[in-house]
Amino acid sequence: MSKTESKTKKTTKKAAVKPSAKAEVKAKAKAEETKTQPESKIAELQQDRERKTVIMQGNEAVSYGALDAGVDFFAGYPITPSTEIAEILAEELPKRGGVYIQMEDEIASICAITGASLTGAKALTATSGPGFSLMQEGIGFAKITETPCVVVNVQRLGPSTGMPTSPAQGDIMQSRWGSHGDSPAIVLYPDSVKECYELTIRAVNLSEKYRTCVVLLLDEVLGHMRESVTLPDMGNVRIIKRIKPTVPPHWYKHYDENQKYLSPLASYGEGYRFHVTGLTHDQHGFPTNKNNEAGDMMARLRKKISYNIRDLVQIESYMMDDADIAIFAAGIVARSAKAAIAMARYEGIKVGLLRPLTIWPFPDVAVRKMLLDVDTVIVPELNQGQMINEIRRLTKDKSESDVIALQKVNGELISPAEILQKIKEAI
Amino acid sequence: MANIPLKVVHQYLRHDKKFPHVWCAGCSNGIILGAVVRAIASMELNRDDIVMVSGIGCSSRMPVYIDLNTMHTLHGRAIAYATGVKMYKPHMKVIVITGDGDCTAIGGNHLIHAARRNLDLSVILVNNNIYGMTGGQCSPTTPHQALATTAPFGNIEPEFDICKLAIGAGATHVARTTAFHVTEMQRYFQAALEHDGFSLIEVVAACPVIYGRLNKKGGAPQMMKEFRDNSVPLTAVDKLPPEKVEGKIIRGVLHQETRPEFTKSYADLLERVQTMGDK
């Protein structure tokens, strides 16, 4: 982790502090829409769904985001509160010629999407805490074999079966460290239904670009909450596809070091006849026990993420310019925080919000800047302290008392009033 | 059945990669690898359209040596990965190489559900009655009273009949043979590759170094002789008195039926859904 930090220091603050997710999928004029002629069946169907403002659930937004990102393979297992994603895709994927399959469990689901992805699919699965725990070994396999796939985890209160229909943010650390061994993670965290749509597309894009398993963390209430969303014109949605090899098969390296950690990926059936293994492997993908090759492989997995922090990290900085107190919150808790900020500002207290859209890799640069700029940081979260320790990790030049915890794990949301109370206590 | 010369078999191996192989002297896995290659070669299948998926274990190390599209996956999950491959590109031939522990213990759930769906996978299950790679622990097919490092006083658990399990779950082509019966093995592999549906070939294999030594089976030649003497072809079962069949390995195609194959059913669904939209 220390290497990652030193690298982030060098990255420009400008890029890390800018919320650019919205730029990626900005809605454009309707006139544009009529101009584009439907080329395939898929394009036609996408235009059929009227791109006006609609009311939808977070889970629905994830489903349509996945379809718009080009996902054509879904394998899953029913689990509250993520089931709607499977239900919608069971109906929509066959219409578009994609594959939907209900597997026998979540382990099989992550394995099937990884297999399909190696065969050329854009693949996604959706689950919740218990299923996410079952998937961890498979997520590790997707990471070591550098196979693109997306896992949506609509979090519920745990441990174990917990409260299936109540919100919690207990999987923040699991999404980072859940799989055994060191395996850097890309994890995105939306705070609204619109952002569910946008970040699903981004998750699929990042998985294709970085050849890894990307996790999208949702809060239970966000999955089931209905909000109005204006879906963008498809012409303005940026879709990234994996790079395909152009070399003849005997030159192909499944993990090509010459490509700045973003190497081309062949699919089964294209003549490349490569080997993938969960064992530590060399550049061609064949198992190795040589320490130098094992070290290179592990370094590659880490550098792929740490060298691209600027591309990966997205944060929202809200009313932070003049803030004395900052709130650091992710997902649905950030919505409560914004309401609390409005109430506090009405009373003349200068409070701002820093919100990670990319929670892993952690936005170290932005958090360090925040810690220097404000006197107090309040970290409200729906767990017993997961994000707050990441903030404390970065407070070496400030005393710990400046970071205040606000934690709740009873199945209820943190209300704006509770955050406001903490703000007042902090003054 | 075409006779495939050794020269051709060698063309299917990844010579410049990771030989010598990991298997012990006397292990049956090399014999099975040879039979798989000869089956593929004699059918003249396009190598680019074959995917070989394996789990974890001694037999699951096989794919790395064969020049096909290969995938060495997680313990027990080979069939689940293969399901993803087959569903996305149904025209590809998918061969699953797995072992008794890999497929019937940790991966038992995937086995029965792929069989139930009748997904067109050719599962080659190498049954050596023990966990060889981890050093000789008992597996679901370790015979009753046999010794294993985790059953030092004799295994008290009854064993699985893998073929019965697969037939019960809905597999549409099930056969059993032993590592001694090489040409029969090759024939069964070809039949499995030709079959349109879920097929499982159980190959009873010798693990002389671990299972054989623990259970005083003698060396590899003695174990092979035992397969020869202790197995009965299915066609002979009815003609023999029951005492000559009892306790023997029954070889042969134990089950064969025609049932809609899953990727074809899915293709039908796609067609139905897409024409539905036109009306």
Q: A379: which 2 tokens?
A: 């970290």
> How does residue A262 score in pLDDT terms, banded at 50, 70 and 90?
confident
Q: If residue A53 lies in a helix (H) or strand (E), which one and from where to where?
A: strand A53-57
Query: Nearest CA of chain B to the CA of A211: how many Å?
Result: 17
Q: Which chain A positions have a beta carbon within 8 Å of B266's beta carbon?
A: 99, 101
Q: Which chain B positions have a beta carbon within 8 Å of A141's beta carbon?
A: 73-74
Does A1 have pLDDT greater than 50? no
Q: How many domains does chain B have?
A: 1
CA atoms within 13 A on the CB side of B212: 21
Is residue B174 included in any domain, yes or no?
Answer: yes
Bridge partners (DSSP) listed for residue B178: B204
Residue B148, Cβ neighbours under 10 Å: how many? 22
> How does residue A241 score in pLDDT terms, banded at 50, 70 and 90?
very high
Residue B260, Cβ neighbours under 10 Å: how many? 13
What are the residue ranges of helices labelled H in A96-226? 106-118, 129-144, 172-177, 193-210, 220-224
Average pLDDT over residues A257-272: 88
Q: B91: which 2 tokens?
A: 């025209």
Contact B84 A284 (CB under 8 A): no
User: Of A158 and A27, which is predicted with more confidence?
Assistant: A158
Does A148 have pLDDT greater than 90? yes
pLDDT score, position A399: 59
pLDDT score, position B16: 73
Q: Which residue of B has its CA nearest to A268?
A: B69
> How does residue B231 score in pLDDT terms, banded at 50, 70 and 90?
very high
How far apart (Å, rounded) are the C-alpha atoms in residues B199 and B12?
Answer: 23
Q: Which residue of A has its CA nearest to B86?
A: A116
Closest to B254 in 3D by CA, of B201, B198, B211: B201
User: Of B166 and A234, which is predicted with more confidence?
Assistant: B166
pLDDT score, position B263: 98
Residue A163 DSSP SS3: strand
pLDDT score, position A52: 75
Is residue B204 included in any domain, yes or no?
Answer: yes
pLDDT score, position A25: 38
Is residue B117 included in any domain, yes or no?
Answer: yes
Q: Which chain A positions have a beta carbon within 8 Å of B83's beta carbon?
A: 75, 101, 103, 108, 111-112, 115
Contact A114 B81 (CB under 8 A): yes
pLDDT score, position A261: 79
Average pLDDT over residues A31-47: 43
Contact A105 B92 (CB under 8 A): no
pTM summary value: 0.92
End-to-end CA distance of chain A: 34
Residue A320, Cβ neighbours under 10 Å: how many? 20
How confident is the prediction for chain A on average, in pLDDT? Answer: 88
Angle at B108 between CA B103 and CA B113, to 5 degrees: 115
Q: Looking at residue B247, which CATH number applies to its domain? A: 3.40.50.970
pLDDT score, position A414: 97
Residue A218, Cβ neighbours under 10 Å: how many? 33
Tell me the per-residue pLDDT of B52-108, one tens digit each, with 9 for 90 and over. Answer: 999 999 999 999 999 999 999 999 999 999 999 999 999 999 999 999 999 999 999
Is residue B1 included in any domain, yes or no?
Answer: no
Residue B198 DSSP SS3: coil
pLDDT score, position A397: 62
Closest to B127 in 3D by CA, of B223, B245, B192: B223
How much of chain A exceeds pLDDT 70, in percent?
Answer: 87
Residue A375, Cβ neighbours under 10 Å: how many? 13
Contact B18 A123 (CB under 8 A): no
pLDDT score, position B206: 97
How confident is the prediction for chain B on average, in pLDDT? Answer: 95
Of B69, B73, B273, nearest to A268 by CB-CB distance is B69
Angle at A302 between CA A300 and CA A308, to 5 degrees: 95
pLDDT score, position B19: 82
pLDDT score, position B252: 97
Q: Which amino acid is located at B39 in the chain?
A: A
How far apart (Å, rounded) are the C-alpha atoms in residues A132 and A153?
Answer: 7
> How does residue B276 score in pLDDT terms, banded at 50, 70 and 90?
confident
Is residue B125 included in any domain, yes or no?
Answer: yes
- Give the range of the structural domain holding residue B61, as residue numbers without chain letter: 6-278
Give the contacts of B87 (CB within 8 A, at least 6 positions apart).
A73, A75, A99, A101, A112, A116, B119, B262, B263, B266
Domain ranges of chain A: 20-236, 249-310, 316-426
- What fold characterizes domain A20-236? Rossmann fold (3.40.50)
**Is the alpha carbon torsion for A363, A368, A371, A374 positive or negative?**
negative
Q: Are the C-beta atoms of residues A268 and B47 closer than 8 Å to each other?
A: no
Does A47 have pLDDT greater than 80? no
3-state helix, strand, coil in chain B (%, to 5): 45, 20, 35
Mutate to test the interface with A, among B52, B85, B271 (most CBs of A within 10 A): B85
Tell me the per-residue pLDDT of B193-217, one tens digit each, with 9 for 90 and over. Answer: 999 999 999 999 999 999 999 999 9
- Angle between the N-to-C axes of helices B78-88 and A106-118, in degrees from 0 to 180, rounded to the nearest 10: 50
pLDDT score, position B4: 84
Contact B71 A117 (CB under 8 A): no
Contact A115 B63 (CB under 8 A): no
Is residue B61 included in any domain, yes or no?
Answer: yes
User: Span A316-426: which CATH code?
Assistant: 3.40.50.920
Does B136 have pLDDT greater than 70? yes
pLDDT score, position B185: 97
Average pLDDT over residues A297-324: 95
Does A2 have pLDDT greater than 60? no
Does A83 have pLDDT greater than 50? yes
Tell me the per-residue pLDDT of A112-143, one tens digit each, with 9 for 90 and over. Answer: 999 999 999 999 999 999 999 999 999 999 99
Residue A311 DSSP SS3: helix
Does A38 have pLDDT greater than 50? no
Is residue B18 included in any domain, yes or no?
Answer: yes
Does A258 have pLDDT greater than 80? no
- Inter-CA distances, A378 with A217, A308, A375, A414, B254, Å: 21, 29, 10, 13, 68
Q: Which residue of A has its CA nearest to B71?
A: A276
Residues 90-149 of A with CB under 8 A from B: 94-95, 97, 99, 101, 103-105, 107-108, 111-121, 123, 137-138, 141
